[in-house]
């Protein structure tokens, strides 16, 4: 159970933060940047949910599950597997979370017509905010992949798969809340030349 009594500790005043392992890292460290961006994606989803809660309850429930999973992903990233015993079982993203979000993607996408052009973010406030969340999730994915390229770092492959699916889900959800894609704003290549 998490218990936060004191919000400021002053331990980060030197520009470092503590990982779940107890190690300290610079706040500019790529691992910290990755889980910070996962947190940013979560906040963007929270903003999108202001527009989906009443009008799209099924999608909103899926977004709520994703938000919880993104906290799991942040905990996973904040507790790198460095081979040293921790004294507790760290929280990790698991294959069943990836499978569940894939089922959600398939369920939402089933009602959408195939695309014949790229979609521009917009159409409705719900769609625009879901597209914003999607771009933040993609940035988190890029940072996680970059972190995984460092031989001294370990990134859970299920976590990378999960964040990839999050952005896919946000894309189909953005189309679904745009009247199942009927209100999508389509890209017209070279339209304004």
Q: Determine the Cα–Cα distance for residues 175 and 177; give it in Å rounded to an integer.
A: 6
In a domain, 12, yes or no: no
In a domain, 13, yes or no: no
In a domain, 143, yes or no: yes
- The answer to whether the beta carbons of residues 118 and 187 sit under 8 Å apart is yes
User: Dihedral of CA 143/145/149/152: which sign?
Assistant: positive
Q: Give long-range contacts, CB 8 A cutoff, 24+ apart: 151-160.
A: 153/30, 153/31, 153/80, 154/80, 154/81, 154/82, 155/34, 155/77, 156/76, 156/81, 156/92, 156/93, 158/92, 158/93, 158/94, 158/95, 158/97, 158/98, 159/73, 159/76, 159/77, 159/92, 159/93
Q: What is the pLDDT of residue 134?
A: 98
User: Dihedral of CA 142/103/181/69: which sign?
Assistant: negative
Q: What is the pLDDT of residue 4?
A: 66
In a domain, 17, yes or no: no
In a domain, 141, yes or no: yes
Q: What is the pLDDT of residue 3?
A: 67
CATH number at residue 149: 1.20.1200.10
Q: What is the pLDDT of residue 157?
A: 98
In a domain, 154, yes or no: yes
Total tally of structural domains belonging to the chain: 1
Domain of 32? 27-80+91-183
Residue 26 β-bridge partners: 16
In a domain, 150, yes or no: yes
Tell me how long the chain is: 193
| Single pTM value for the model | 0.93
Split the chain (193 residues) into runs of 10 and give each run's mean pLDDT.
72 83 87 97 98 97 98 97 88 98 98 93 97 98 98 96 98 97 94 95
In a domain, 146, yes or no: yes
């Amino acid at each position: 159970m998490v218990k936060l009594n004191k919000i400021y500790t002053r331990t980060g005043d030197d520009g470092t933060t503590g990982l779940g392992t107890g190690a300290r890292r610079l706040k500019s460290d790529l691992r910290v940047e990755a889980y910070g961006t996962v947190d940013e994606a979560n906040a963007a989803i929270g903003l999108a949910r202001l527009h989906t809660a009443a009008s799209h309850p099924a999608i909103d429930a899926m977004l709520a599950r994703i938000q919880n999973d993104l906290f799991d992903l942040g905990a996973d990233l904040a507790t790198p597997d460095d081979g040293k015993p921790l004294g507790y079982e760290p929280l990790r993203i698991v294959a069943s979370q990836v499978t569940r979000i894939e089922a959600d993607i398939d369920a939402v996408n089933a009602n959408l017509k195939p695309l014949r052009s790229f979609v521009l973010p917009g159409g409705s406030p719900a769609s625009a905010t879901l597209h914003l969340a999607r771009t933040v999730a993609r940035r988190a994915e890029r940072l996680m992949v970059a972190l995984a390229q460092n031989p001294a770092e370990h990134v859970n492959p299920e976590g990378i798969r999960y964040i990839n699916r999050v952005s896919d889900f946000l894309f189909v959800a953005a189309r679904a809340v745009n009247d199942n894609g009927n209100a999508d704003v389509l890209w017209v290549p070279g339209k304004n030349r």
